Chains A and B, each alone.
Chain A
């Protein structure tokens, strides 16, 4: 049986989910489907799905504050060699520059504040944009061909 070759003109996945943590795995599943048939290492896939999880958890918890009347808008696409993920919430937004460094000694033992750090560690590019009106958009990009793993300093 031949391996499925994705069509280059396959459109993006666009979806809107309610602000429930249970929906994170639905989005991860669909992202996995988007990558099916592409030459993406299991390592790369694992870490980008973790970054997706962190971004969605952030949008649901801190963005929409689990308000079920607010939605999370997700768009995922492969453009060239890059997976691009856009996640928009309907919350009040925040200043990404104000997020504390979880590696600073005074923050090392805090129980929160690592989500954005993990996104930046496991993706090639992470951008935040405060939307006009309300909401925050986060755009995650991963080069699927680079085999760039930043999973730590395992020796």
Chain B
């Protein structure tokens, strides 16, 4: 997995690319999000557009990241969820946990609310 973090309007946008699977990307995702939280970055938007594969470990890490950001009083949201990842979140009823957006400006605007 490759990740790029950019700051837009005070929001940390994490662009992910590739696989978030066991032994390949799952721990990396946790480290990236924890690193942001430790720096005081509590508003995080994960761009999933170029994520090709996710498994239960990757989903578990996403949930763990959501919980740790939320517990710090922050907001972790998802952007551009590919259809099959949407399905994977849907069957485990996690799609209702995450705020998911199709447009970056729209997603960014929700952090001000």
Contact = CB atoms under 8 A, between A and B. Distances in A.
Interface of A: 20-22, 24, 46, 50, 53-54, 57, 61, 102-103, 108-112, 114-115, 117-118, 121, 150-154
Interface residues of B, number: 25
Contacts of A114: 56, 59-60, 92
A151 B84 CA distance: 8
A154 B87 contact: yes
A118 B93 CA distance: 12
Given A21-B23, A103-B92, A103-B93, A115 B83 contact: no
A112 B22 CA distance: 11
A152 B91 contact: yes
B91 A108 contact: no
Contacts, number: 73
Interface of B: 21-24, 55-57, 59-61, 63-64, 66-67, 83-84, 86-88, 90-94, 97
- Residue of B66, B84, B87 ringed by the most chain A CB atoms within 10 A: B87
B60 A111 contact: yes
Contact of B55 (A20, A54, A117): A54
Nearest to B67: A109
B22 to A, nearest CB: 5
Contacts of A102: 92
A108 B63 CA distance: 9
Contacts of B67: 109, 111
Contact of B22 (A57, A108, A121): A57
A108 B64 CA distance: 11
A118 B56 contact: yes
Contacts of A152: 86-88, 90-91
A53 B21 CA distance: 9
